[in-house]
Structure 1
Amino acid sequence: MYSLRPGLCFVLVAILFADTKAADPISLSDANPHYFSYQGEPAFLITSGEHYGALLNLDFDFGVYFDELAKHGLNHTRVFSGVYRENAKAFGITDNPLAPSTEGFNCPWARSEIAGGVDGGNKFDLTKFNPAWSKRLKELMAAADQRGIVVELTLFCPLYNDDLWKISPMNAANNVNGIGDFPREEAYALKHPAITDVQVAFTKWVVTELRDFGNLYYEVCNEPYFGGVTMEWQNRIVDTIQATEKGFPKKHLISLNVANGRKKVENPHAGVSIFNFHYCVPPDTVSMNAALNKVIGENETGFRGQADVLYRTEAWDFLLAGGALYNNLDYSFTAKHPSGTLRDYTSPGGGSVELRQQLGILKRFLSSFDFVEMTPNPSWIKKVTPKLTTQALVQHDKAYAVYLHVPLPSKPKDLDALLQEDIKAKVVVELPEGSFRAEWVNTKTGEIDKDERFAHPGGDKTLTSPRFSNDVAVRIVRD
């Protein structure tokens, strides 16, 4: 567990917490609301993060974890609140951070003096909050802030199956309040005022506790398209966040998790600024929802295999399609491996130190542009040979970000048969008259494998890549 000597911990948290009071929360960019503004600069969020248990699992050392993200320049993490927990068998995840031991479960509600919880611990009291949970939350937020990491705090999560409902604090079997004597599909549906009151009270408490942190936004519910979660209930939580913050000097962004894959958002709550999706291959949900003029994110990946190339190409595709948030679900992080060094996991996704290095290269590539002035425009690439998947972000007459990779389906059955070595591509684009520089960036090393300058009379221009394996990027700017 992440810990310091009590006196030193108090001083450090006090200093970091004081710093947060001077910073405005992350917000939408005034120049381009498809992106963020943070600490006075335009921003997008990118990470390869643990399976959401850094707060609720006392055995998880979030300080070591944040150090690993920061080492690669990654600036985001997704954290579940502890209202929801998993068991060790859930979803076949190796050493699942969301499946703490009974003693290691950091729940927002306090345990009572009454024995009999299904997990072997005392039952919970849904009218009393756990001060140790609040303390760890603030320490986590301060530690993330110190390292430039923005936290998505996911408040709720559906109960996917009866085994997960069986261990939930909201189940009547696990609390002393007699609340939760109903099917799991009715936990987030406004059908039972007593549990809704508990959820609203929790939301108010969290929002009040975190009022001064800037490196934060709230996500209402993970995957609310499962388990009976209603939009009316989600809107109730959004209303609660906004009402609680009404008198606060700082207001935090609110996210909805919309769908797996893609969906066009219709008539969204005006208080929502981030629309998150899972498993966005291809990333067409970005263009589908561009008219919202809000951030479109992909905050969970997986179920494609373990190979880094799958999630590297997914990240490049999504962000160059105009997304502003990408979180690879990284199964190399566990409580025993908080620095992300687990190799032999059998979880349904990927993650590795090499992938984190590669996502850092992507972050530096995009940050080298004035990206808030750019728009996705894949059709600007007129032709590419051999056949490759292409993405382009364009600032007309000034700068162009291009990404090419071998075509990959969402769930390849034989990945090795699709991968290609020693590719040399020709790319036809349209450029205005002027002098330009084209830098071909190796997506695995960050090195510039080819650097060329040329004068162009205007019109079509054919660029020839260096030889590469599977994917490559090119930065084209006026020289």
Structure 2
Amino acid sequence: MPGLLTDLLLWTYPSDMLVITLVLAGWMLASAHAEPVSIEIAGPLVAARNPNYFQDTHGSVLILNGSHSWNTLQDWGTNGALQATDFDAFVKFLAAHGHNFTLLWYTELPKFCGFPSTASSPPDFIVGPHPWRRTGPGTATDGGLKFDLTQFDPAYFSRLRTRTQALGRAGIYAGVYLFTGEWLNIFRCSSDGYPFTGANNINGIDDGYSGGPKGIGAVTMIAPNAITRIQDAYVEKVIDTLNDLPNVLWIVSEEAPANSTWWNEHQIAHIRAYESKKRYQHPIGYGALIRAPDSIIYDSDADWVAPQVRISPPTSCGSGRPICKVNVNDSDHSYFGMWKDTPQQNRNYAWQNFMNGNQVLFMDPYIVYYPREGRNLCVSPKNGICREPDSRYRNFRDNLGYILKYSRRLNLANVTPRKSLCSTGYCLAQTPSAGAEYLVYAPSGGPFTVDLSAMPSSRKLAVEWFNPSSGASIAGDPILAGSSSRSFTPPFGGDAVLYLVDTAGHAASRISNATQGAQRGGPEAPHRRKSASYGAEGISGVFTRRSGTSGI
């Protein structure tokens, strides 16, 4: 399988940096071969000068791409039987596809109902563990002991830390969901055991739920109350558990009700204030709200957002602080129903987002059996959970890794979306008079043109084609720059990627924000980026010579 990670050679974990040396093998690409690749997680991510991306504390600008699934932190199961998730296998799965980002979900309901995994009569799922001890006295509506919301369950937080560390050792960033508002909005039932409903705790906390699939009182308040005090204490416990780990990003919730804006903003401010006293300050995310415009999350004080629009815009700016957000387009919100489209249409979604300056998360059903409409026909399901994932998504998963590999060849500090430069409308480029580079995507393949007039005809561009369907790359003959409408035709059918770069190497960046911050005494915090301005032509500078352009 292209992108197969076969051997973990060495890892060390110093106090400020995680260094993993991996051997990437099995790339069935023209002119490609396995070679060691060093992956670093160097301190928490901070805002890059290019507002589309984060950078690490070494100043390396990067994108975040990967799969996430519902049951990789807590266990799920039907028929009253939890099915343990093999988390080591999940980490290897992400690494095998070349991913560097996932989300760890917190499902707030001990039991949820109506999850549409089957065409009719969907089974109820149970979930565990949870953040609070179930001590009683008394029985909750799901049949377990009532929660004591003043006592945290060490097993939950130990698992959270251990799994976040395991991801870090593999060079993978973990977006940690603090809540999941969607479950409260559509998957509740009278026997769900939700900790914040009065019948399910011994602390007199009550969200006012009285039955039905919707019970959102715990996320729709407009001022602090008894519930937010419990929630705030829980959030602080999560931060205390993970703050010293460099591979963490926070995200408050996903698909919460449209009238949960006060609550979401409260948690963003609370996380920001509490972490300001800690060793690290991690980026804070805000997921799309149900039936609400994306402008709400763009106008928030989050550092990164996951909108509901299918293809995210080239910039994601609003009235909040920071003005511009890093945009991680999550198919969970933006591309529900993607399993009904063709593999090429699925790839279009990922590559078009990347060419617009954005990152991609795949709501991967992984091992949750979801036969409705053939969404996930994974292997050997038992109590709703499978032994192996469905191979139907293998190519899409691989393409998230392919995108990451091209992102590491580009100078992300300089490149910006430049749709006017190519007839396909999907192009990332930097265009100084020397050191230009272009990455072009043709969603349907076929002939297209690229404007190469930024550099004079005395300079040459190396040419590389990449086939997203097969994972194969083809080196072309170098061409002269200078043309304002150079024609290209992919040497294969279907969607295609073209990479062009000055044969002398692409232009490198001036001094990075992180380096400047270190010279001032520390890295720039994620929320300090206040300007939406960024030169469309990139930054001129010295050249970085490349060892070759034969494959990704």
Aligned counterparts of 2:481 and 2:85: Cα–Cα separation in 1: 55
Aligned counterparts of 1:446 and 1:462: Cα–Cα separation in 2: 23
Residue in structure 1 matched with residue 247 of structure 2 by the alignment: 215
1:478 counterpart letter in structure 2: D
Q: 1:164 to 1:155 in 2, by over 3 A?
A: farther
Residue in structure 2 matched with residue 342 of structure 1 by the alignment: 378
Aligned counterparts of 1:435 and 1:20: Cα–Cα separation in 2: 39
1:295 matched to 2:326? The reply is yes
**202-211 or 259-268, larger mean C-alpha shift:** 259-268
Q: 1:165 to 1:295 in 2, by over 3 A?
A: farther
CA contact (8 A) 2:185 2:256 kept: no
CA contact (8 A) 2:16 2:246 kept: no
2:171 to 122, 145, 148: 148
1:331 to 358, 365, 371: 365
Tell me, what secondary structure is at the counterpart of 1:305?
helix
Aligned positions of 1:72-87 closer than 5 A:
72-84=97-109, 87=112
Residue in structure 2 matched with residue 317 of structure 1 by the alignment: 352
CA contact (8 A) 2:167 2:174 kept: yes
Residue in structure 2 matched with residue 202 of structure 1 by the alignment: 234
The percentage of aligned residue pairs carrying the same residue is: 22
Cα deviation code 1:172-196 (max 9, x no counterpart): 1221223124142321123571111
2:496 to 463, 467, 472: 472
Q: 1:89 to 1:258 in 2, by over 3 A?
A: closer
1:391 to 426, 443, 455: 426
1:288: how far off?
A: 5.4
Cα deviation code 1:267-310 (max 9, x no counterpart): 8344x2112113x32333x4453893331111234323344333
CA contact (8 A) 1:79 1:152 kept: yes
Which is helix-richer, 1 or 2? 1
1:371 matched to 2:396? The reply is no
1:190 to 212, 221, 231: 221
Residue in structure 1 matched with residue 480 of structure 2 by the alignment: 455
CA contact (8 A) 2:52 2:325 kept: yes
1:180 matched to 2:206? The reply is yes
TM-score (norm 2): 0.70
1:372: how far off?
A: 2.0
CA contact (8 A) 1:72 1:357 kept: yes
1:360 counterpart letter in structure 2: G
Aligned counterparts of 2:230 and 2:96: Cα–Cα separation in 1: 39
Aligned counterparts of 1:400 and 1:164: Cα–Cα separation in 2: 52
Q: 1:25 to 1:310 in 2, by over 3 A?
A: farther
Residue in structure 2 matched with residue 118 of structure 1 by the alignment: 141
2:188 to 145, 163, 166: 163
2:273 to 243, 246, 254: 243
Aligned counterparts of 1:76 and 1:144: Cα–Cα separation in 2: 9
Cα deviation code 1:60-93 (max 9, x no counterpart): 1211101110112101111123434563641327
1:256: how far off?
A: 1.1
Cα deviation code 1:312-348 (max 9, x no counterpart): 211111111011x311111133399xxx99269999x
TM-score (norm 1): 0.80
**247-256 or 291-300, larger mean C-alpha shift:** 291-300
1:247: how far off?
A: 1.8
Residue in structure 2 matched with residue 264 of structure 1 by the alignment: 295
1:374: how far off?
A: 0.4
CA contact (8 A) 1:35 1:295 kept: yes
1:46 matched to 2:84? The reply is no
1:17: how far off?
A: 8.8
CA contact (8 A) 2:286 2:297 kept: no
Q: 1:45 to 1:305 in 2, by over 3 A?
A: same
1:21: how far off?
A: 8.7
Residue in structure 1 matched with residue 95 of structure 2 by the alignment: 70
Aligned counterparts of 1:78 and 1:221: Cα–Cα separation in 2: 11
Residue in structure 1 matched with residue 440 of structure 2 by the alignment: 402
1:379: how far off?
A: 1.5
Aligned counterparts of 2:111 and 2:315: Cα–Cα separation in 1: 34
1:465: how far off?
A: 1.9
CA contact (8 A) 1:373 1:395 kept: yes
Structure 1 residue ranges without an equivalent (≥5): 1-14, 384-388, 407-422
CA contact (8 A) 2:141 2:190 kept: no
1:61 matched to 2:86? The reply is yes
Q: 1:262 to 1:474 in 2, by over 3 A?
A: farther
1:36 to 54, 69, 75: 54
CA contact (8 A) 2:265 2:300 kept: yes
Question: What's the C-alpha RMSD, in Å, of the aligned pairs?
Answer: 3.3
**453-462 or 395-404, larger mean C-alpha shift:** 453-462
Q: 1:211 to 1:20 in 2, by over 3 A?
A: farther
CA contact (8 A) 1:332 1:352 kept: no
Number of equivalences: 426
1:253 to 266, 283, 291: 283
1:207 counterpart letter in structure 2: I
CA contact (8 A) 1:435 1:455 kept: yes
Cα deviation code 1:232-282 (max 9, x no counterpart): 212211222122222212111111114579633588344x2112113x323
Tell me, what secondary structure is at the counterpart of 1:90?
coil
Aligned counterparts of 1:448 and 1:162: Cα–Cα separation in 2: 45
**193-202 or 54-63, larger mean C-alpha shift:** 54-63
Aligned counterparts of 1:255 and 1:92: Cα–Cα separation in 2: 27
2:497 counterpart letter in structure 1: A
1:100: how far off?
A: 5.4
Cα deviation code 1:338-374 (max 9, x no counterpart): xx99269999x99623322222122212221112210
Q: 1:24 to 1:288 in 2, by over 3 A?
A: closer
